């Protein structure tokens, strides 16, 4: 992971860590927000995408980079493709946000529409990869993606000492897996906690059952977290994430609004899930509740024409 950090350092932003006394009073603990909405392309995804693209290299990259995404990963890979001069093809559900599609196209990528289902995404992804000869870079279930995402935790732990816990949103598991590997590689005593919408709770169910559970397709405002855990991310979540806290839609919206109004941090709903978990009753009742917590705010790509309040 340190090699990933060195590889991407010239290309990424070292994002700031912010605090907010009002939110700390509400939570009853110290909160250190790792602000990945200030990362290039507006989310942590650029870390993993740039690491994967740079490892592919310019020669292989000339054939192109291919992925599927409903938003942030597509933007990140489109921008990362520019680092190696590679064309980028993003298979994207036709029902996904038009705002996010415009952003992906704005970075120069070609968007290929598909249906929302995983089967449609993967079958069209395979067609595009075969037609172009491009290298497939999946959104989360890839070692270079996981390593890149974990660099956010390396930065946070280098800046803030003596944390008791880190909490991050869980979708496909790329971020939480990278955070867990980086954190426990430095200090196995730091607790790693996941945060997930109740409407997309496969990581919570997987932790309960001890096996990787299928993702549900329930509607949630945190649409970036609807993906299911991958073959690579699930074992890391199983072994290194203490627990996954699920929060409801109203809790997510309230946390998002608090971050906007009180901390002046413009996050997207998927990002607000982490704060919602910290403010939840489950977190407050935890045995030996952590007192110094790093909170990964994963991104800030919000469609301002369709705000949720």
Domains of the chain, by residue range, sit at 2-43+142-306, 45-136
Among residues 70, 177, 271, 280, the one annotated as catalytic is 70
What pLDDT, on a 0 to 100 scale, did the predictor assign at position 58? 81
112-129: string of b/e by CB count within 10 Å (b at 16+)? bebeeeeebbeebbeebb
Whole-angstrom distance, CA of residue 136 vs CA of residue 213: 25
**What is residue 213's DSSP assignment?**
P
Whole-angstrom distance, CA of residue 169 vs CA of residue 224: 10
CATH fold of 2-43+142-306: Rossmann fold (3.40.50)
CA angle 126, 221, 88 (to 5 degrees): 30
pLDDT tens-place string over residues 243-268:
999 999 999 999 999 999 999 999 99
CATH fold of 45-136: Rossmann fold (3.40.50)
Among residues 34, 43, 45, 177, the one annotated as catalytic is 45
Please indicate whether residue 70 is annotated as part of the active site: yes
How big, in percent rounded to 5, are the helix, strand and coil portions of the chain? 50, 15, 35
What pLDDT, on a 0 to 100 scale, did the predictor assign at position 61? 78
Please indicate whether residue 45 is annotated as part of the active site: yes
* 45-136 shares the fold of 2-43+142-306: yes
Beta strands at 165-169 and 88-93: parallel, antiparallel or unpaired: unpaired
pLDDT tens-place string over residues 87-133:
999 999 888 888 889 999 999 999 999 987 778 889 999 999 999 99
What pLDDT, on a 0 to 100 scale, did the predictor assign at position 70? 83
Whole-angstrom distance, CA of residue 296 vs CA of residue 142: 20
pLDDT tens-place string over residues 20-63:
999 999 999 999 999 999 999 999 999 999 999 999 988 877 89
């Amino acid at each position: 992971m340190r090699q990933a950090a060195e590889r991407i350092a010239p290309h990424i932003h070292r994002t700031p860590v912010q605090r907010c006394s009002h939110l700390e009073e509400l939570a009853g603990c110290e909160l250190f927000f790792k602000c990945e909405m200030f990362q290039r392309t507006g989310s942590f995804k650029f870390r993993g995408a740039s690491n994967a693209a740079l490892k592919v290299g310019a020669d292989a990259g000339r054939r192109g980079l291919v992925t599927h995404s409903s938003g942030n990963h597509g933007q990140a890979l489109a921008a990362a493709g520019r680092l190696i001069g590679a064309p980028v093809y993003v298979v994207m559900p036709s029902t996904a946000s038009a705002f996010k599609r415009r952003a992906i196209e704005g970075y120069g990528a070609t968007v290929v529409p598909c249906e929302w289902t995983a089967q449609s995404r993967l079958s069209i992804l395979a067609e595009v990869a075969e037609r172009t000869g491009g290298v497939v870079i999946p959104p989360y279930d890839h070692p270079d993606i996981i390593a890149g995402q974990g660099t956010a935790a390396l930065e946070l732990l280098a800046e803030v000492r003596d944390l008791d816990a880190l909490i991050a949103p869980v979708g496909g598991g790329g971020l939480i897996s990278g955070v867990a590997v980086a954190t426990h590689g430095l200090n196995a005593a730091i607790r790693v906690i996941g945060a997930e919408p109740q409407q997309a709770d496969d990581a919570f169910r997987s932790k309960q059952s001890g096996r990787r559970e299928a993702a549900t397709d329930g509607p949630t405002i945190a649409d970036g977290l609807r993906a299911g855990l991958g073959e690579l991310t699930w074992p890391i979540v199983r072994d290194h994430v203490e627990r996954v806290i699920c929060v409801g839609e109203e809790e997510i919206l309230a946390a998002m609004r608090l971050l906007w109004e009180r901390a002046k941090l413009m996050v997207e709903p998927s990002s607000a899930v982490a704060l919602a978990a910290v403010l939840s009753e489950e977190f407050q009742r935890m045995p030996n509740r952590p007192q110094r917590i790093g909170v990964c705010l994963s991104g800030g790509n919000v469609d301002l024409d369709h705000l949720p309040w």
